[in-house]
């Protein structure tokens, strides 16, 4: 089964300036295209644009609803379920920092005994 991770990026609010373009719609389309292509360089696939609403209670007088526009991307996870961006390096525990198993068992026994005593006292 394929597994994916997702990324949301706010839709640009202003168009970039491009020389030679007179139509503002073309300028905004190129701005969106540049934004999508920049994210796609890292392996993200553009899915769709989505409008999400957020309701806040900013004051005593009531709620406020705000709409946010996002570009939604996805990319496939590795078979291990890890993100491609995640760098995992194994950690080694030095012998002097690792706890002695007998000490751990003794501490667990002491905590359990303390809890049983407390339960008996509180009845």
Question: Is residue 100 situated within a structural domain?
Answer: no
- pLDDT for 86 beyond 60: no
Compute how many other C-beta atoms are within 10 angstroms of the C-beta atom of residue 29.
Answer: 13
Domain assignment present for residue 119? The answer is: no
Residue 98 lies in a domain: no
What whole-number distance in Å separates Cα of residue 20 and Cα of residue 26? 11
23 or 7: whose pLDDT is higher? 7
Residue 51 lies in a domain: yes
Residue 99 in domain? no
Question: What's the whole-number average pLDDT of the chain?
Answer: 78
Residue 29 placed within a domain:
yes
Q: Is the pTM of this model over 0.75?
A: no
**Beta strand pairing call for 4-10 and 45-59:** unpaired
Q: How is residue 122 written in tokens?
A: 């509180």
User: Could you give the number of structural domains in the chain?
Assistant: 1
> Domain range spanning residue 46?
4-80
């Amino acid at each position: 089964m394929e597994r994916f991770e997702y990324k949301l990026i706010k839709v640009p609010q202003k168009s970039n300036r491009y020389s030679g373009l007179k139509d503002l719609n073309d300028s905004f389309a190129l701005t969106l295209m540049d934004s999508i292509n920049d994210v796609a360089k890292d392996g993200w696939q553009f899915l769709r644009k989505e409008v999400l609403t957020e309701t806040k209670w900013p004051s005593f007088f009531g709620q406020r609803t705000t709409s946010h526009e996002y570009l939604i991307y996805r990319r496939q996870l590795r078979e291990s379920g890890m993100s491609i961006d995640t760098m995992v390096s194994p950690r080694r525990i030095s012998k002097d920092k690792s706890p002695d198993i007998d000490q751990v068992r003794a501490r667990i026994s002491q905590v359990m005994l303390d809890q049983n005593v407390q339960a008996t006292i509180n009845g």
